[in-house]
Amino acid sequence: MSIKRIILIIITFSILSVLFLTLIFETQFLSWIELNWFSLLLIILIVAIFIAFILGFSIDYLYPKISKKSRFSQTTQLKKPRKKLAKLILPRDNQLIIDYYERVYGRADFIGLLVIDKLNFIGREHFKITKLDDGIYIEDLDTKNGTKVNGEEIKGLDKVKLKNNDSILVAKVLELKFVTESE
């Protein structure tokens, strides 16, 4: 329960309790209890805060426990965490984890690894890595500077299957190493 929520509950029920208790004290108790208005107001405030705290706790803590779960929570399935399929070893021992069945890699994925002049050779969407039933494939997305796998240009080709420890050269400026997770 957050502090803002507690304060809001206390203020709301304090105001309601003060109004309610003022009516009760004015009609029934003032006739036979001789209190000045300040003492009466102080008693009303203390009782109101106590009632507000009890009611606020009841509503915020007990209500969710006894109420039925929403239809949304009964019918919604949560996604399981993605399994790490492979990784790309980057310069300076950095890594890109491949945990999607299909993902496009581009310039934004390599910011900080290359100087801006070299980074501009890499396309915004440069290559795509796809997981199929029989392995993981790479595909150049018809980029200006191309992509090489083990020294062979794959620009213009369909998907090329990657093997463990394959070398990938992106736009002639960034060398990556493909490593499967079976190691």
Residue at token pair 């310069």: 91
* Cα 136 from Cα 160, distance rounded (Å): 8
Written out in words, the top-level CATH class of the domain with range 86-180 is mainly beta
| Predicted pLDDT of residue 143 | 93
| DSSP run (H or E) holding 177 | strand 174-180
Radius of gyration over alpha carbons of the chain, in Å?
A: 33
The yes-or-no verdict on residue 96 having pLDDT over 80 is yes
Coil, strand, or helix at residue 114?
strand
| Predicted pLDDT of residue 11 | 73
| Predicted pLDDT of residue 49 | 75
Tell me if 148 sits within 8 A of 160, measured CB to CB.
Answer: no
pLDDT in tens, 42-69: 777 777 777 777 777 777 776 666 666 6
- pLDDT mean over 6-13: 70
142 dihedral zone (left: phi>0; alpha: psi -120 to 50; beta): left
Strands ordered across the beta sheet of 102-105 = 102-105, 127-132, 135-140, 160-161
Residue at token pair 């440069």: 126
Query: Domain segments of the chain: what residues?
Result: 3-75, 86-180
| Predicted pLDDT of residue 183 | 45
